[in-house]
């Protein structure tokens, strides 16, 4: 699924308006707790996450970006539907945006079913937790592989098999040869390289694999949301805000825009056109894909 052109004019009036927003700055407390535990190799259990996870700077950033985003919308004309990953940092960000939107008088369309353990712990019933926005359960130890040295949480190596530790450290040396400065950039650059060299377990996803699978699921979600949005809501236009992660967006930006990375709270604007094509816009550039 390749882009057709840069700065492409939409194919008629858009029928859907979706913004994918990366979560705000977080402490990643759940992952840090696991790699320091008796079993550093286990994945994060969404039901048992540590929250709140947003840092003080993350709270401030989310407030600032939400104010800016909703300043571009009209509560008299727009109704909002919120969706999120099942990770605490994404759901917390979505909840903050939603509360600010309510304070500005926007109508919030509540999901018919929320039934998510973390959402229930947060008393959150107006944000839909969506699987296609969520991260796959993967090893916390191997996920930490791409963290810059200053952000790598202490690992309890006594809980790791010697062969696994040796394999991890060999892969880690590849990443440290040219640390890109943040987890997302390292993941985008090195995950596929490590897979090709046989240094990344098959259970762990690469940036290209997520582009081929989960990112395409996000595009299908955008089209599904557009069909629902076309029905309208009390005479208002429905705008969908979907909060997630950089993991499955990293390679898409390289494919579509020739650059990698997405900042915390950065929004990618997706418009679904009447001919079912998608216009994807970020940082003032847009591509259209079928």
pLDDT tens track for 84-93: 999 999 999 9
Q: Let me know how many helices (H) and strands (E) the chain has, helices first.
A: 10, 9
Confidence band for 3, pLDDT divided at 50, 70 and 90:
very low
| Averaged pLDDT, 4-11 | 42
CB count within 10 Å of CB 37 equals 14
Q: What is the pLDDT of residues 204-257, one digit of tens each?
A: 999 999 999 999 888 888 888 777 777 767 778 889 999 999 999 888 888 888
Q: Which residue has the higher pLDDT, 224 or 96?
A: 96
Lowest mean pLDDT among 122-126, 147-151, 196-200, 207-211: 122-126
The pLDDT value given to residue 288: 84
The pLDDT value given to residue 235: 78
- Pair 210, 180: CB distance under 8 Å: no
**Which stretches within the chain are classed as H helix?**
29-35, 56-70, 88-103, 117-121, 140-143, 162-176, 183-196, 207-212, 214-229, 250-257
| Averaged pLDDT, 34-52 | 92
DSSP label of 147: S
Residue 281 CA: distances (Å) to CA of 8, 44, 62, 106: 10, 32, 20, 24
- Pair 23, 87: CB distance under 8 Å: yes
The pLDDT value given to residue 219: 87
Quote the pTM value: 0.88
Model confidence at 275: pLDDT above 70: yes
The residues with which 282 forms a beta bridge, in sequence order, are: 285
| Averaged pLDDT, 182-191 | 92
Q: Which of 81, 83, 82, 88 is nearest to 117 (CA)?
A: 88
Asked whether residue 260 is assigned to any structural domain, the reply reads yes
Output the domain CATH number for residue 119: 3.40.50.1240
The residues with which 83 forms a beta bridge, in sequence order, are: 128, 242
Q: Which domain holds residue 34?
A: 3-137+210-289
The pLDDT value given to residue 246: 92
The pLDDT value given to residue 14: 61
Residue 245 CA: distances (Å) to CA of 7, 8, 87, 290: 25, 26, 9, 23
Percent of the chain with pLDDT over 70: 90
Asked whether residue 21 is assigned to any structural domain, the reply reads yes
Q: Which two tokens stand for residue 245?
A: 């992660």
CB count within 10 Å of CB 9 equals 9
In three-state secondary structure terms, 50 is coil
Asked whether residue 49 is assigned to any structural domain, the reply reads yes
Asked whether residue 263 is assigned to any structural domain, the reply reads yes
Q: What is the pLDDT of residues 101-120, one digit of tens each?
A: 999 999 999 887 666 766 67
Asked whether residue 234 is assigned to any structural domain, the reply reads yes
The pLDDT value given to residue 122: 65
Helix (H) or strand (E) holding 18: strand 16-22
Residue 254 CA: distances (Å) to CA of 2, 132, 146, 261, 288: 11, 21, 18, 8, 15
Model confidence at 262: pLDDT above 70: yes
Percent of the chain with pLDDT over 90: 60
Model confidence at 140: pLDDT above 80: yes
Asked whether residue 169 is assigned to any structural domain, the reply reads no
| Averaged pLDDT, 72-92 | 93
| Averaged pLDDT, 2-21 | 60
Domain count, the chain: 1
The pLDDT value given to residue 46: 86
Asked whether residue 81 is assigned to any structural domain, the reply reads yes
Confidence band for 10, pLDDT divided at 50, 70 and 90:
very low
Confidence band for 1, pLDDT divided at 50, 70 and 90:
very low
How far is the C-alpha of 236 from the C-alpha of 92, rounded, in Å? 26
The pLDDT value given to residue 8: 44
Asked whether residue 219 is assigned to any structural domain, the reply reads yes
How far is the C-alpha of 143 from the C-alpha of 246, rounded, in Å? 13
């Amino acid at each position: 699924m390749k882009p057709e052109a840069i700065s492409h004019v939409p194919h008629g009036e858009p029928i859907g308006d979706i913004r994918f927003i990366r979560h705000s700055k977080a402490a990643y407390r759940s992952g840090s707790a696991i790699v320091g535990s008796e079993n550093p190799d286990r994945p994060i259990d969404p039901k048992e996450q540590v929250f709140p996870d947003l840092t003080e700077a993350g709270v401030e950033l989310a407030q600032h970006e939400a104010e800016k985003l909703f300043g571009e919308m009209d509560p008299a004309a727009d109704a909002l539907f919120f969706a999120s990953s099942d990770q605490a940092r994404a759901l917390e960000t979505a909840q903050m945006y939603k509360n600010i939107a309510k304070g500005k008088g926007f109508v919030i369309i509540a999901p018919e079913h929320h039934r998510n353990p973390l959402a229930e712990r947060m008393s959150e019933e107006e944000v839909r937790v969506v699987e296609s926005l969520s991260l796959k359960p993967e090893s916390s130890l191997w996920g930490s592989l791409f963290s810059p040295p200053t952000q790598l949480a202490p690992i309890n190596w006594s809980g790791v098999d010697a062969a696994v530790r040796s394999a991890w450290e060999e892969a880690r040396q590849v990443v440290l040869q040219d640390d890109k400065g943040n987890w997302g950039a390292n993941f985008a650059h090195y995950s596929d390289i490590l897979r090709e060299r046989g240094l990344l377990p098959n259970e762990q996803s690469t940036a290209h694999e997520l582009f081929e699978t989960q990112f395409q699921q996000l595009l299908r979600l955008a089209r599904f949301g557009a069909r629902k949005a076309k029905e309208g809501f009390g005479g208002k236009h429905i705008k969908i805000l979907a909060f997630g992660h950089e993991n499955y967006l990293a390679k898409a930006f390289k494919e579509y825009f020739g650059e990698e990375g997405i900042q915390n709270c950065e929004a990618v604007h997706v418009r679904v056109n009447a001919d079912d094509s998608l216009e994807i816009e970020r940082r003032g550039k847009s591509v259209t894909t079928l």
